[in-house]
Amino acid sequence: MANDAGTVFDLVILGGGSGGYAAALRGAQLGLDVALIEKNKLGGTCLHNGCIPTKALLHAGEIADQARESEQFGIKATFDGVDMAGVHKYKDDVIAGLYKGLQGLFASRKVTYIEGEGKLSSPTSVDVNGQRVQGRHVLLATGSVPKSLPGLEIDGNRIISSDHALTLDRVPKSAIVLGGGVIGVEFASAWKSFGTDVTIVEGLKHLVPVEDENSSKLLERAFRKRGIGFSLGAFFEKAEYTNDGVKVTLANGKEFEAELLLVAIGRGPVSQGLGYEEQGVAMDRGYVLVDEYMQTNVATISAVGDLVPTLQLAHVGFAEGMLVAERLAGLKTVPVDYDGVPRVTYCHPEVASVGITEAKAKEVYGADKVVALKYNLAGNGKSKILKTAGEIKLVQVKDGAVVGVHMVGDRMGEQVGEAQLIYNWEALPAEVAQLIHAHPTQNEAMGEAHLALAGKPLHSHD
């Protein structure tokens, strides 16, 4: 293949999702000549099939719940149903606005954008559209796709993935959600708000199993109250069509029937057939292996985002992409502390956390060196006004820093910014307790929790 116009870029990026486009924008900002290759749309899964559209659906569901429940606030309103065409228009308008803005950023920073399906053809080149794009360095950022299980075929009809769920033209009467992680509980929450009878099947012993166990239990309690069913601790065995839906059988013999089955067991890396292994890139189960600076075993190749075995979060992709761009531009870089990354599950109620769980802290520091405190949102005025329940749980090394903040409650995702600062700056409870938090806000609960942990509780019992 002929090299396109003889240009050798400083950085060639394969994949235009969160990690890839962040590297492109930061690299161009630092004076690198950057080319980015994307087979679908700039913005990738997060913008078009993940973070943004799912949160739009969840917000539409929140509006539906508020309409149904308005009388508890003294407001008389009627709920006449869900117009899915209208919901999709709202969702798609949000996506379109962000997409247009992202395209504008690329144009203003003079990133060379190439639309097409690329393949790594050497340690310093990518082939696309019959041309060879050469670079001094190549960044692999091809992302992920929904996973399934052996023998479970996602057909887009009655057995669907999150991609299908985002464009569903109706509100299903009933649905089984296979997987109680972030994707599963978010769709279960949105569908319940729209009026679907939902059951979650999770093989592990708790919903959102990577979170602190207290957060999982609080979410389970809230879901029971909302009428969201769930089966825990028994793994999936098979799915089969019925006359008018689908039946799921678990390993313990339990059976569930519904109109649809959503397979939400996670996402797997997009790496097959893209030339990675042929060029000597070290792989493991489809993931590209990297060091703490996102460097592969091939000197001229880096990788970021869902393609590497780190947290599958858009903001992690942003951070990893920027790290690579800054490293290539000669700046001093600091590896990502993955424990210090904020994590939010945007169901109702929200689950948010940063740092490590109480169980992990005991494993690392010893059970006698760990202190945990729970602050109930019942003591928080703004949470009372919003009629949300939940807790903020702090995990502290005895006489030391707070190493974990775990929150459950509506809008807790908006509190995770301060939690991130507390963890990453290794704050002592007494230091946070000195800060004055606005009243009445939910953010005030963060201050109250630290006041209590510092031994001077105000709106909570000793």
Catalytic residues: 439
- Do residues 200 and 229 make contact, with C-beta atoms less than 8 angstroms apart? yes
DSSP state of 36: E
307 secondary structure, DSSP code: G
H or E segment and range at residue 370: strand 370-376
Q: Which tokens sit at 286?
A: 């489809």
The single residue listed with the structure tokens 């239990």 is 217
DSSP category for residue 70? G
* Residue 376, strand partner residues: 391
Cα 373 to chain centroid distance, Å, stands at 26
Is the distance from CB of 87 to CB of 60 less than 8 angstroms? yes
Identity of the amino acid at 187: F
Token pair, residue 317, equals 């992709």
User: How are strands ordered across the β-sheet holding 119-122?
Assistant: 3-9, 131-135, 125-128, 119-122
Two structure tokens written together for 50: 């993940």
Structure token pair of residue 174: 């009933």
Sign of the alpha-carbon torsion through 279, 282, 286, 287: negative
Residue 250: name the closest of 266, 261, 260, 239 by CA.
239
* Phi, psi values for residue 433, rounded to 5°: -60, -25
Please say whether the beta carbons of 20 and 304 come within 8 A: yes
List all residues 6 or more positions away from 245 whose beta carbon is below 8 Å from its beta carbon: 158, 174, 257, 258, 259, 260
